[in-house]
Amino acid sequence: MTQPMPSTAHTSALAPAFLDEIHAFLDTAFEGRFDAHDWDHTLGGVHAWVSDGSGLLAHGSVIQRRAVHAGRSLRVGYVEGVAVRAGHRRRGLGGRIMAALEEVVDGAYAFGALAASAGAVPLYTGRGWTAWPGRIAVQGPEGVVRLPHEEGSTYVRGTGGAPLPATGEPGSDLLVFDWRDGDVM
């Protein structure tokens, strides 16, 4: 059976009732572990989704964050809220959602980034995303805070699917993301 292609739209173009549907879908997909901060992190960018007559089948969004890398502040397309409805997984929907989001990353950002759960790693690595090999930190209210627990689960993708270039400059193994409430990554 042919799966429908993703639709895309910016958060501002989505009706409040549809945003409520997305929120409920993500809460179900993440088995009640999708809190108010997670929802907030999903908003403000481009959403990609697939639905049929039964409702949402898959969703993801890409929002803008800033990251300092090798002395430069870069616009990052940060992927959030990627989920596929139980019973529809392993049928290519996640890949279609990611393809739509990667198109946005390629057209608007210096690179893409995301925090991957262990179960989602094969989806991302199969699409060319790689675990950031260096250090991860955030610029917090108290200054730069290292996040060693995020190292190994933060994945990046250069535009066009290329890996992030190694600059060889001091500090080029460090990505410092902007601060946000909740899980900063």
CA torsion angle 71 64 25 128 (round to 10): -50
| Mean of pLDDT values over 143-171 | 79
Structure tokens at 106: 């390629």
Cβ contact 60:97 at 8 Å: yes
Model confidence over 115-136: pLDDT tens digits? 999 989 999 999 999 999 889 9
Q: Which pLDDT band holds residue 163 (cuts at 50, 70, 90)?
A: low
Q: Which pLDDT band holds residue 12 (cuts at 50, 70, 90)?
A: very high
- Note the pLDDT of residue 62: 98
Model confidence over 43-61: pLDDT tens digits? 999 999 999 989 999 999 9
Domain boundaries, the chain: 7-178
List CB contacts of 32: < 8 A, sequence separation 6 or more.
none
CATH code for the structural domain at 7-178: 3.40.630.30
Cβ contact 49:61 at 8 Å: no
